[in-house]
Amino acid sequence: LVSREAKSDDTIIKIKNVEIGGNQVVIMAGPCAVESREQMMAAARAVKEAGARIFRGGAYKPRTSPYSFQGFEEKGLELMAEAAQQENLITITEVIDQQSAELAAQYIDILQIGTRNMQNFQLLKKVGQLKKPVLLKRGLSATIEEWLMAAEYIMAEGNYEVILCERGIRTFETYTRNTLDLTAVPVIKRLSHLPVVVDPSHATGDWKLVTPMAKGAVAVGADGLLIEVHPDPSKALCDGPQSLTPENFKNLVLELEPIAKVT
């Protein structure tokens, strides 16, 4: 179902009045984690002001350490939906198990499967049964073939609205958090009809590298970008060093405009 042979024309996923996979670059932006009402309201305002339409934020955080902030769960979903409604934004959030998937589907427009869950097959089947678009991140050490087969799990359950997200892979290089595999974008375009977006925030782990890699992603044909933006990155509970300030985010969008139709 994922392959170009199965379907030759590009899949376009329509969510309200935004099309992912069409002739434009769709920007999804917001903080790593939902932290408070004030933080979410400020983040939503920043995303809207820069001209983006899709608001991200994590209510369930699968952290490397069990002692790190794990997210506000349902309260976080509520705060996110509230802030998005205020600014008329579409929402995306990560789900980590069957229960969070069911709950998030009641509040949020797009369900995200994180890199650590790319081969959580029960979870893939679950989101395949829910009537919501799914953004599937590439696993930390997943091949393109494994990633596409994970998308196949979702589609095999009847949900054809899958967006692939390249977010960097594990290599021997330690200077950056991960290694952004931009080659994956044209390879996916060759092998599949599904839209593909790039997350330069988690790929690099360094806010100064986000804008150059976002430009690279757009140049190689990405359908969208997933960018971490925080009203005050120095106070972020999660991923502050890779988060853009509202001002830096606005500049990123301005710098993309000459090279792509951005929304």
> Site residues (CB under 5 A) for Mn ion?
32, 239
Nearer to ligand PEP by Cβ, of 32 and 194: the residue is 32
Smallest gap from residue 201 Cβ to ligand PEP (A): 8
Smallest gap from residue 116 Cβ to ligand PEP (A): 6
Q: Which residues of 189-207 are buried (b: 16+ CB within 10 A; e: fewer)?
A: bebbbbbbbbbbbbbbbeb
Q: What spatial distance separates the first Cα and last Cα of the chain, rounded to whole Å?
A: 28
User: Looking at 114, 128, 139, 231, which residue binds ligand PEP (CB under 6 A)?
Assistant: 114
* Dist CA 1 CA 121 (whole Å): 17
With CB under 6 A as the rule, give the number of residues binding ligand PEP: 8
Q: 115 touches which of Mn ion, ligand PEP, none (CB within 5 to 8 A by kind)?
A: ligand PEP
Pairing of strands 13-15, 18-20: antiparallel
* Dist CA 225 CA 200 (whole Å): 8
Nearer to Mn ion by Cβ, of 223 and 239: the residue is 239
Nearer to ligand PEP by Cβ, of 162 and 193: the residue is 162
Q: 194 touches which of Mn ion, ligand PEP, none (CB within 5 to 8 A by kind)?
A: none
Using CB under 6 A as the binding rule, whether residue 57 contacts ligand PEP is answered as no
Q: 126 touches which of Mn ion, ligand PEP, none (CB within 5 to 8 A by kind)?
A: none
- Short-list 216, 228, 199, 225, CA closest to 27: 225
Q: In the range 164-203, which residues lie near ligand PEP by CB under 6 A? A: 167, 202
Residue listed under structure tokens 């890699």: 213
Nearest to ligand PEP by Cβ — which residue?
A: 114
User: Looking at 58, 71, 128, 246, which residue binds ligand PEP (CB under 6 A)?
Assistant: 58
User: Looking at 39, 115, 120, 204, which residue binds ligand PEP (CB under 6 A)?
Assistant: 115
Instruction: Assess contact for 54 and 29: CB atoms under 8 A.
Output: yes
Using CB under 6 A as the binding rule, whether residue 100 contacts ligand PEP is answered as no
Backbone angles phi, psi at 79, to 5 degrees: -65, -40
Backbone angles phi, psi at 226, to 5 degrees: -115, 115
* Dist CA 181 CA 137 (whole Å): 13
Using CB under 6 A as the binding rule, whether residue 32 contacts ligand PEP is answered as yes
- Short-list 141, 51, 38, CA closest to 88: 51
Smallest gap from residue 137 Cβ to Mn ion (A): 11
Question: Which sign does the torsion angle of CA 178, 238, 226, 105 carry?
Answer: positive
Smallest gap from residue 33 Cβ to Mn ion (A): 7
User: Looking at 137, 189, 193, 230, which residue binds ligand PEP (CB under 6 A)?
Assistant: 137
Q: Which residues bind ligand PEP (CB under 6 A)?
A: 32, 58, 94, 114-115, 137, 167, 202
